[in-house]
Amino acid sequence: MSDYTIIQLIIYSEVLHIETLLTVLLIIAVVLIVVGSAVSFRLGIAYRRKIAEAEIGSAEEQAKKVISDAEKAAENKKREVLLETKEDVLRQRAEIDKEVKERRIELQRQERRVQQKEETLDKKVENLEKKEETLTKKNKEIDDKIADIAKTHQKQIDLLEKISGFTAEEAKEYLLKNIENEVRHEAAIMIKEIEDKAKEDAESKAKEIVAGAIQRCAADHSAETTVSVVPLPNDEMKGRIIGREGRNIRALETLTGIDLIIDDTPEAVILSGFDPIRREVARLTLEKLITDGRIHPARIEETVERSKKEVENIIKQEGEHATFETGVHGLHPEIIRLLGKLKYRTSYGQNVLKHSIEVSHLAGIMAGELGGDIAIAKRAGLLHDIGKSIDHEVEGSHVTIGADLAKKYKENDEVIHAIMAHHGDVQPNTLVACLVQAADSISAARPGARRENIETYIKRLEKLEEIANSFAGVDKSFAIQAGREVRIMVKPENVTDDGTVLLARDIVKRIEAEMEYPGQIKVNVIRELRSIEYAK
């Protein structure tokens, strides 16, 4: 190896040694820095710890001081609260003691009162016992006296019976009979006085109202017949009406439902039928056929149809005319049609439509005089006999049928009630019902308005006399003035003057209950006593 190489190796080793030394030094420096930092950190921590410990010590002292102050304040507060509580307890105890004392005093007062009451009650009980003993003694005395009185009374009765010759029952019956006669006498006098007073107050006014109504509504139509007579131009027309083998008359009777009576009556044919409307159709048909001259079954059928339409138009016009004449508006069209049918309906010969119009006028006039509802009165009067328009078609009385029709077509309740009450089927309880009942009687009872057959007339007279003769004390009775009055002769020894009043009322009630009649019937009871003696 050369020197150069050796020198290089030496230099290189030196360099390595220096680098190693530097490295070592660097490491040592780093270690020293780290150690210094750690030492300084630990020293800082220790310093801060000392400061913190000092602060903690100071805070602990302050806390102890605060706690001590708080304990002292709490102790003071506790003492104050205890003192206040003791004071409250003492005050409440004093109040309770005072209340207890007051209650004790009140209880003592109540005890004294109760004791006084008990003493009072004891005294009252003693007094009651004494009174009871006294009453018992008195009752015994009274019973003894009653027994004595009963014995005395019996002795007196026996003595009276011995003196009078009547037993107790006979005397009682005699007294009751006398009392009954006196009471009947007083009742008869009272009834007569009441009737006289009522007549004095009402008779003049009633007469004035009724007379005024009749005068203002005077009608001159008379009774109508129920048979139609068709005049003929000559007797040869009868043969044409009968036709070959009777075919024309059979066709007429079949289509109209009316019987044609062709007899020896000169130049006339009589139409007889149950239904007045059909009879009117037959009459018009026959008159048209006679005027036309062509009479055969086909022509008869055609004419009958035309007559039916004509009669239907007449019915409608008559119904409208009736409502216009009476001033009754707002009626149902069917009610107006039924009113028109009344033109062909009669009652005892009186045309029912004219009768209804007359009743409407009379009821309206009387309602005006009495301050009632004129419109309702006239409406009820016009519709009171509406049931007669279909009473041949529907079962039941015309009153019931009329009320049902009024209900069906929503008529006023007062109108329905007046229809029901106009013949007394129900008791009239409104002014309108009473006025319609009175107007119906006035119109029906007017002379010449109605007629009835002789059989019915005779039966009514006989029934009147039979009812009158059925009462005790009646000697004879006579129905007079076409059944408008019945005169009754009584036996004077059986019926007293006062008894005639009661007898008349009893007969009136019996007639009203058992008979049907237009208008009213006067019951006239007559008692006559004649005493005849001869001087010799």
Question: Which of 423, 451, 479 delimits the end of a domain?
Answer: 451
> pLDDT tens for residues 346-365?
776 678 888 889 889 888 88
How far is CA 390 from its chain centroid? 31
331 shares a domain with 444: yes
The answer to whether residue 223 scores a pLDDT higher than 50 is no
Domain assignment present for 58: no
Cβ contact 525:488 at 8 Å: yes
pLDDT in tens, 415-426: 999 989 888 778
Q: Look at the chain and report how many structural domains it folds into.
A: 4
pLDDT band for position 296 (50/70/90)?
confident
Residues 255-269 have a mean pLDDT of: 79
Q: What is the pLDDT confidence band of residue 221, given thresholds at 50, 70 and 90?
A: very low
Instruction: For residue 505, count CB atoms less than 10 angstroms from its CB and return exposed for 0-12, middle for 13-18, buried for 19 or more.
Output: middle
pLDDT at 261: 81
Asked if residue 11 is part of any domain, the answer here is no
The answer to the question of residue 93 being in a domain is no
Following DSSP, what letter does each residue of 390-453 receive, concatenated? Answer: STTTSSS-HHHHHHHHHHHTT--HHHHHHHHHTTTSS---SHHHHHHHHHHHHHHHSTTS----
Identify the domain boundary among 293, 324, 355.
324
For 150, phi then psi, to 5°, come to -60, -45
Whether residue 427 sits in one domain with residue 385: yes
Global confidence as pTM: 0.47
> What is the structure's pLDDT at 40?
73
- How would residue 65 be classed by pLDDT, with cut points 50, 70 and 90? confident
- Residue 463 sits in the same domain as residue 485: yes
SS (H, E, C) 205-235: HHHHHHHHHHHHCCCCCCCCCCCEEEECCCC
Q: Let me know if residue 442 belongs to a domain.
A: yes
In a domain? residue 367: yes
Instruction: Decide if 405 contacts 346 (C-beta within 8 A).
Output: no
Are 320 and 331 contained in the same domain? no
**Alpha carbon distance 188, 122 (integer Å):** 65
d(CA 434, CA 375): 15
Kindly give the residue spans of alpha helices, DSSP state H, lying in 257-332. Answer: 276-292, 297-326
Q: Which two three-digit tokens encode residue 492? A: 């004077």
Full residue range of the structural domain in which residue 313 is found: 230-324
Mean pLDDT computed over every residue of the chain: 80
Q: What is the mean pLDDT of residues 455-482?
A: 84
* 436 part of a folded domain: yes
Domain check: are 339 and 315 in the same one?
no
Pairing of strands 485-490, 522-527: parallel
Burial of 530 (0-12, 13-18, 19+ CB in 10 A): exposed
CATH number at residue 236: 3.30.1370.10
Long-range interactions of 448-454: CB distance < 8 A, separation 24+: 448/222, 448/223, 449/222, 449/223, 449/350, 449/355, 450/223, 450/347, 450/348, 450/349, 450/350, 450/518, 451/223, 451/348, 451/349, 452/348, 452/349
Q: How many CA atoms lie within 13 A of 105 on its CB side?
A: 5
Kindly state whether residues 339 and 447 are assigned to the same domain.
yes
Q: In the sheet that 259-261 helps form, which strands lie side by side, from edge to edge?
A: 228-231, 268-272, 259-261
**Measured distance CA(455)–CA(444) in Å, rounded:** 19
Give pLDDT, residue 231. Answer: 80
State the pLDDT at residue 202.
63
pLDDT at 346: 76
- Rounded distance, CA 237 to CA 289, Å? 10
* CA gap 389, 400 in Å, rounded: 12
Please compute, for residue 125, the number of CA atoms within 13 A of its CA located in the half-sphere on the CB side.
6
Average pLDDT on 65-76 reads 81
Q: Please write the tens of the pLDDT for every residue from 300-346.
A: 888 889 888 988 898 888 889 988 988 888 888 898 988 888 888 87
Name 228's bridge partners: 271
pLDDT digits (tens, 9 = 90+) for 89-128: 888 888 888 888 898 899 998 888 888 888 888 888 888 8
Domain membership of residue 117 (yes or no) is no
| Cβ neighbours of residue 327 closer than 8 Å, sequence gap 6 or more | 364, 375, 378
Q: Are residues 346 and 434 in the same domain?
A: yes
Residue 526: which CATH number? 3.30.70.1350
CA–CA distance from 477 to each of 58, 507, 510, 517 (Å)?
Answer: 150, 12, 15, 18
**Is the domain of 419 the same as that of 466?**
no
Q: Are 428 and 437 in contact (CB under 8 A)?
A: yes
Does residue 266 lie within any of the structural domains?
A: yes
Residue 216 and residue 365 in contact, taking contact as beta carbons nearer than 8 Å = yes
Residues paired with 478 in a beta bridge: 487
Choose one of 422, 451, 480: the last residue of a domain.
451
Give the pLDDT confidence score for residue 8 in this predicted structure: 57
pLDDT over 70 (residue 446)? no
Query: Is-contact 477 469, C-beta < 8 A?
Result: yes
**C-beta separation of 461 from 479 below 8 A:** yes
Distances (CA, A) of 424 to 358, 406, 432, 438: 20, 18, 14, 11
- CA torsion, ordered 426, 429, 435, 437, to nearest 10 deg: 10
- Residue 433, CA distances (Å) to 215, 415, 426, 436, 520 in order: 22, 8, 10, 5, 17
> What whole-number distance in Å separates Cα of residue 242 and Cα of residue 252?
9
Q: How far apart, in whole angstroms, are the C-alpha atoms of residue 524 and residue 514? A: 18
The CA-based angle 529-534-536, given to 5 degrees, is 165
What pLDDT, on a 0 to 100 scale, did the predictor assign at position 227? 62
Q: Where are the alpha helices (DSSP H) in 165-220?
A: 168-216
Look-up of token digits 């409502």: 323
Same domain, 285 and 234: yes
Q: 488 and 502 in one domain?
A: yes
How many residues are given for the chain? 536
Q: Which amino acid is at 437?
A: Q
Same domain flag for 339 and 420: yes
Give the mean pLDDT of 500-525.
Answer: 83
| Both structure tokens of 161 | 């019976």
Q: Which two tokens stand for residue 444?
A: 């029906």
Torsion of CA 407, 413, 418, 420, to 10 degrees: 40
Identify the band that residue 35 occupies on the pLDDT scale cut at 50, 70 and 90. Answer: confident
| Residues 352, 442 within the same domain | yes
Q: Tell me the C-alpha distance between 477 and 522, whole Å.
A: 13
